[in-house]
Amino acid sequence: MYNKNTSKKNSNKAWAPRPEKPTKKSAPKSRQGKFVDQMKQTRKKLYYEKVELPAIDSNLTLTENGAVAYKSSGSALVDINFKISAMREMEEGQIVALFRKAYAENPRLAMRWLGYLMDIRQGQGERRSSMVILKDMMKNGGAKIVSQVIELIPEYGRWDMIYNFTSNPITSETIKKMLKRQVAQDKMNMKAGKPISLMAKWLDSATSRSKETRRNGLWTVHALGMTEKQYRKMLSAMRKHIDVVERKMSSNNWQSIDYEAVPSKANLNYNKTFLKHDETRRRAYLDGLTRGEAKINASVTNPCEILNKYHQVSGWYSNPDAALEGMWKALPNLMEPNKSMLVVADGSGSMLSRSSGNITCLDVANSLAIYCADRAKGAFANKYITFSMTPKFVEFGKDWTLQRKIKEAERHDECANTNLEAVFDLILKTAIDNHSPQSDLPENILIISDMQFDSMVSAYESRDSYGWHRKVKVTKTFIDKIKARFEAHGYTCPNLIFWNVMDAGRTTTFPITQDDRGMMVSGFSVNTLKMIMSGKTDPLYAIMDTICKPRYTPFEKALA
The full 3-state SS of 71-110, as one line of letters, equals: CCCCCHHHHHHCCCCHHHCCCHHHHHHHHHHHHHHCHHHH
Q: Which residue has the higher pLDDT, 179 or 63?
A: 179
* Distance of alpha carbon 109 from the chain centroid: 20
Determine the pLDDT at residue 315. 59
**pLDDT above 90 covers what percent of the chain?**
59
Determine the pLDDT at residue 184. 97
Confidence of residue 3 (pLDDT cuts 50, 70, 90): very low
Strand runs (DSSP E) across 277-415, as ranges?
Answer: 341-346, 354-356, 359-360, 383-387, 392-395
Determine the pLDDT at residue 51. 39
Q: Which residue has the higher pLDDT, 27 or 214?
A: 214
Residue 486 pLDDT exceeds 60: yes
Residue 75 pLDDT exceeds 90: yes
Q: Enumerate residues 6+ apart whose C-beta is below 8 A from 206.
A: 214, 217, 218, 220, 221, 228, 231, 232
Q: What is the DSSP string of 290-306?
A: HTTSS----TT--HHHH
Helix (H, G, I), strand (E, B) or coil at 54: coil
Cα gap 84→97, rounded to integer Å: 14
Average pLDDT of span 275-300? 90
Q: Enumerate residues 6+ apart whose C-beta is below 8 A from 268.
A: 301, 305, 306, 309, 323, 324, 327
**H or E segment to which residue 462 belongs:** strand 461-463
Strand runs (DSSP E) across 483-525, as ranges?
Answer: 495-500, 519-522
For the chain, what is the mean pLDDT? 86
Residue 18 pLDDT exceeds 70: no
> Is 337 exposed, middle or buried, given 0-12, 13-18 or 19+ CB atoms closer than 10 A?
exposed
pLDDT in tens, 139-183: 999 999 999 999 999 999 999 999 999 999 999 999 999 999 999
Q: Enumerate residues 6+ apart whose C-beta is below 8 A from 534.
A: 542, 545, 546
Flag the least confident range among 349-353, 502-506, 532-536, 546-550.
502-506
Choose from 100-104, 372-376, 469-473 the range with maximum mean pLDDT. 100-104
pLDDT in tens, 199-238: 999 999 999 999 999 999 999 999 999 999 999 999 999 9
Residue 328 pLDDT exceeds 70: yes
The Cα-based distances of 437 to 25, 153, 385, 430 in angstroms read 10, 51, 21, 11
Cα gap 23→8, rounded to integer Å: 32
Strands 383-387 and 60-62: unpaired
* Distance of alpha carbon 285 from the chain centroid: 31
Residue 507 pLDDT exceeds 80: no
Residue 56 pLDDT exceeds 60: no
Confidence of residue 28 (pLDDT cuts 50, 70, 90): low
Q: What is the DSSP string of 259-286?
A: GGGS-HHHHHHHHHHHHHHSHHHHHHHH
pLDDT in tens, 382-438: 999 988 778 889 999 989 999 999 999 988 877 667 788 889 999 999 999 999 999
Closest CA to 382 of 410, 362, 402: 402
Confidence of residue 57 (pLDDT cuts 50, 70, 90): low
**pLDDT above 70 covers what percent of the chain?**
86
Q: What is the pTM of this model?
A: 0.85
Determine the pLDDT at residue 475. 61
> Is 432 exposed, middle or buried, given 0-12, 13-18 or 19+ CB atoms closer than 10 A?
middle
Domains, the chain, with CATH or none:
29-72+331-556 (3.40.50.410), 256-330 (no CATH)
Residue 496 pLDDT exceeds 90: yes
Residue 435, CA atoms < 13 Å, CB-side half-sphere: 4
* Distance of alpha carbon 85 from the chain centroid: 7
